[in-house]
Amino acid sequence: MKQRSRSKRSISGFTLIEMLVVIIVIGVLFAIAAPGWDTILSRQRVSAGREQIAQTIRIAQSEARRTRAPRIVVFDASTNGKPRVATAPYTTGTALPVNNANITTWELLGNGNVNPNTLKLAIGGSSAANRALVFDSNGTIAQVPTVPTAQSLPFFITVSRGNTTGTATNRCVVIDTLLASIRTDEGAYNAGTGRGCQ
Protein backbone atom coordinates (compact mmCIF):
# COMPACT_ATOMS: atom_id res chain seq x y z
CA MET A 1 0.00 0.00 0.00
CA LYS A 2 1.19 3.39 -0.96
CA GLN A 3 1.21 6.04 1.61
CA ARG A 4 -0.13 9.31 0.41
CA SER A 5 1.84 12.31 1.42
CA ARG A 6 -0.22 15.23 2.41
CA SER A 7 1.05 18.51 1.12
CA LYS A 8 1.42 21.01 3.85
CA ARG A 9 -0.15 24.37 3.18
CA SER A 10 2.16 27.13 4.07
CA ILE A 11 0.48 29.93 5.90
CA SER A 12 1.94 33.20 4.75
CA GLY A 13 1.87 36.45 6.68
CA PHE A 14 3.89 38.77 8.84
CA THR A 15 4.75 38.33 12.43
CA LEU A 16 3.96 41.02 14.95
CA ILE A 17 7.66 41.86 15.28
CA GLU A 18 8.05 42.32 11.51
CA MET A 19 5.05 44.67 11.45
CA LEU A 20 6.46 46.73 14.32
CA VAL A 21 9.84 47.06 12.61
CA VAL A 22 8.19 48.30 9.39
CA ILE A 23 6.07 50.84 11.32
CA ILE A 24 9.12 52.12 13.21
CA VAL A 25 11.14 52.48 9.97
CA ILE A 26 8.29 54.39 8.33
CA GLY A 27 8.00 56.66 11.39
CA VAL A 28 11.74 57.42 11.35
CA LEU A 29 11.67 58.22 7.62
CA PHE A 30 8.66 60.48 8.10
CA ALA A 31 10.35 62.31 10.99
CA ILE A 32 13.38 62.94 8.78
CA ALA A 33 11.35 64.09 5.75
CA ALA A 34 8.69 66.25 7.48
CA PRO A 35 10.81 69.40 8.09
CA GLY A 36 12.07 69.36 4.51
CA TRP A 37 8.53 68.98 3.20
CA ASP A 38 7.38 71.96 5.29
CA THR A 39 10.20 74.08 3.84
CA ILE A 40 9.26 73.10 0.29
CA LEU A 41 5.61 74.00 0.88
CA SER A 42 6.55 77.32 2.50
CA ARG A 43 8.79 78.30 -0.40
CA GLN A 44 6.07 77.35 -2.87
CA ARG A 45 3.48 79.51 -1.02
CA VAL A 46 5.86 82.47 -0.85
CA SER A 47 6.72 82.18 -4.55
CA ALA A 48 3.04 81.94 -5.47
CA GLY A 49 2.34 85.09 -3.41
CA ARG A 50 5.14 86.94 -5.20
CA GLU A 51 3.77 85.92 -8.60
CA GLN A 52 0.28 87.05 -7.58
CA ILE A 53 1.64 90.50 -6.67
CA ALA A 54 3.63 90.77 -9.91
CA GLN A 55 0.52 89.81 -11.90
CA THR A 56 -1.61 92.39 -10.05
CA ILE A 57 0.96 95.11 -10.82
CA ARG A 58 1.05 94.11 -14.50
CA ILE A 59 -2.75 94.19 -14.69
CA ALA A 60 -2.89 97.66 -13.09
CA GLN A 61 -0.26 98.96 -15.52
CA SER A 62 -2.12 97.45 -18.47
CA GLU A 63 -5.45 98.87 -17.28
CA ALA A 64 -3.91 102.34 -16.92
CA ARG A 65 -2.69 102.21 -20.52
CA ARG A 66 -5.93 100.74 -21.86
CA THR A 67 -8.30 103.14 -20.11
CA ARG A 68 -5.89 106.13 -20.28
CA ALA A 69 -6.66 106.74 -16.59
CA PRO A 70 -4.41 106.46 -13.51
CA ARG A 71 -4.51 103.22 -11.48
CA ILE A 72 -3.28 102.44 -8.00
CA VAL A 73 -2.02 99.18 -6.53
CA VAL A 74 -2.48 99.07 -2.75
CA PHE A 75 -0.82 96.62 -0.36
CA ASP A 76 -2.19 95.75 3.07
CA ALA A 77 0.02 93.63 5.30
CA SER A 78 -2.12 93.68 8.42
CA THR A 79 -5.49 92.09 7.70
CA ASN A 80 -6.01 89.34 10.30
CA GLY A 81 -2.66 87.78 9.43
CA LYS A 82 -3.60 87.47 5.75
CA PRO A 83 -1.84 90.03 3.52
CA ARG A 84 -3.82 91.37 0.59
CA VAL A 85 -3.39 93.43 -2.56
CA ALA A 86 -5.82 95.48 -4.66
CA THR A 87 -5.91 97.58 -7.79
CA ALA A 88 -8.34 100.44 -8.28
CA PRO A 89 -8.83 103.68 -10.22
CA TYR A 90 -6.82 106.59 -8.84
CA THR A 91 -7.97 110.19 -8.81
CA THR A 92 -5.08 112.47 -9.74
CA GLY A 93 -3.80 114.40 -6.74
CA THR A 94 -5.43 112.16 -4.11
CA ALA A 95 -3.31 112.01 -0.99
CA LEU A 96 -1.62 108.78 -0.05
CA PRO A 97 -2.19 106.52 1.74
CA VAL A 98 -5.67 105.89 0.43
CA ASN A 99 -8.43 104.75 2.75
CA ASN A 100 -8.44 100.93 2.55
CA ALA A 101 -12.15 100.85 3.42
CA ASN A 102 -12.94 102.53 0.08
CA ILE A 103 -11.34 99.74 -1.95
CA THR A 104 -13.55 96.78 -2.87
CA THR A 105 -11.22 94.76 -5.10
CA TRP A 106 -8.99 93.18 -2.43
CA GLU A 107 -7.37 89.83 -3.17
CA LEU A 108 -5.84 87.80 -0.37
CA LEU A 109 -2.34 86.50 -1.12
CA GLY A 110 -2.56 82.82 -1.86
CA ASN A 111 -6.16 83.46 -2.97
CA GLY A 112 -7.26 83.02 0.64
CA ASN A 113 -6.14 79.38 0.70
CA VAL A 114 -3.42 79.84 3.30
CA ASN A 115 -3.73 79.96 7.06
CA PRO A 116 -3.36 83.28 8.91
CA ASN A 117 0.26 84.33 9.54
CA THR A 118 1.56 81.92 6.91
CA LEU A 119 2.68 84.75 4.63
CA LYS A 120 4.18 88.11 5.56
CA LEU A 121 4.21 91.18 3.32
CA ALA A 122 6.68 94.08 3.53
CA ILE A 123 6.94 97.17 1.37
CA GLY A 124 10.39 98.69 0.83
CA GLY A 125 11.67 101.90 -0.68
CA SER A 126 11.16 105.47 0.46
CA SER A 127 7.45 105.43 -0.42
CA ALA A 128 6.94 102.45 1.87
CA ALA A 129 4.73 104.40 4.28
CA ASN A 130 2.19 104.82 1.49
CA ARG A 131 1.99 101.10 0.78
CA ALA A 132 0.80 101.93 -2.72
CA LEU A 133 2.06 102.20 -6.26
CA VAL A 134 0.41 104.64 -8.68
CA PHE A 135 0.52 104.33 -12.48
CA ASP A 136 -0.30 107.35 -14.63
CA SER A 137 -2.46 107.17 -17.77
CA ASN A 138 0.58 106.02 -19.80
CA GLY A 139 1.25 103.05 -17.52
CA THR A 140 4.42 104.57 -16.06
CA ILE A 141 5.13 105.27 -12.39
CA ALA A 142 3.23 108.48 -11.63
CA GLN A 143 5.20 111.44 -10.35
CA VAL A 144 4.37 114.92 -9.06
CA PRO A 145 1.86 116.56 -9.77
CA THR A 146 -0.18 113.38 -10.40
CA VAL A 147 0.73 112.06 -6.95
CA PRO A 148 1.27 114.65 -4.18
CA THR A 149 4.68 113.14 -3.31
CA ALA A 150 7.03 111.63 -5.84
CA GLN A 151 7.27 107.86 -5.75
CA SER A 152 10.92 106.94 -5.48
CA LEU A 153 12.53 103.87 -6.92
CA PRO A 154 13.44 101.11 -6.47
CA PHE A 155 10.15 99.98 -4.96
CA PHE A 156 10.26 96.56 -3.20
CA ILE A 157 7.32 94.33 -2.33
CA THR A 158 8.63 91.38 -0.30
CA VAL A 159 6.71 88.23 0.53
CA SER A 160 8.18 85.95 3.18
CA ARG A 161 7.23 83.12 5.46
CA GLY A 162 5.17 84.32 8.42
CA ASN A 163 6.38 84.01 12.02
CA THR A 164 10.01 83.53 11.04
CA THR A 165 13.12 85.63 10.93
CA GLY A 166 15.84 85.59 8.34
CA THR A 167 15.74 85.93 4.58
CA ALA A 168 15.88 82.32 3.43
CA THR A 169 12.34 82.40 2.08
CA ASN A 170 12.18 86.07 1.02
CA ARG A 171 10.80 86.52 -2.48
CA CYS A 172 10.23 89.99 -3.88
CA VAL A 173 8.94 92.03 -6.77
CA VAL A 174 11.18 95.00 -7.56
CA ILE A 175 10.27 97.99 -9.70
CA ASP A 176 13.47 99.75 -10.76
CA THR A 177 12.43 102.26 -13.41
CA LEU A 178 9.73 104.83 -14.13
CA LEU A 179 8.58 102.58 -16.97
CA ALA A 180 7.72 100.06 -14.22
CA SER A 181 9.95 97.28 -15.40
CA ILE A 182 9.24 94.45 -12.98
CA ARG A 183 11.83 91.95 -11.86
CA THR A 184 11.59 89.24 -9.27
CA ASP A 185 14.34 88.37 -6.83
CA GLU A 186 14.96 86.45 -3.62
CA GLY A 187 17.11 86.41 -0.51
CA ALA A 188 18.72 89.26 1.40
CA TYR A 189 19.40 92.60 -0.25
CA ASN A 190 23.00 93.27 -1.32
CA ALA A 191 23.66 97.01 -1.71
CA GLY A 192 26.79 96.31 -3.78
CA THR A 193 24.96 94.39 -6.49
CA GLY A 194 21.51 95.87 -5.99
CA ARG A 195 20.13 92.33 -5.98
CA GLY A 196 17.92 90.63 -3.40
CA CYS A 197 14.98 91.83 -1.30
CA GLN A 198 14.85 94.74 1.13
pTM of the model: 0.78
For residue range 45-99, list pLDDT tens digits in order: 888 889 999 999 999 999 999 999 999 999 988 767 788 899 999 988 888 888 8
Annotated domain spans of the chain: 17-186
Residues 6+ apart with CB under 8 A from 146: 70, 92, 93, 134, 136
pLDDT confidence of residue 127: 46
Query: In the prediction, which pLDDT does 66 show?
Result: 95
**What residues of the chain score a pLDDT lower than 50?**
126-127
Neighbours of 85 (CB within 10 A): 24
Fold classification of 17-186 (topology level): minor pseudopilin epsh fold (3.55.40)
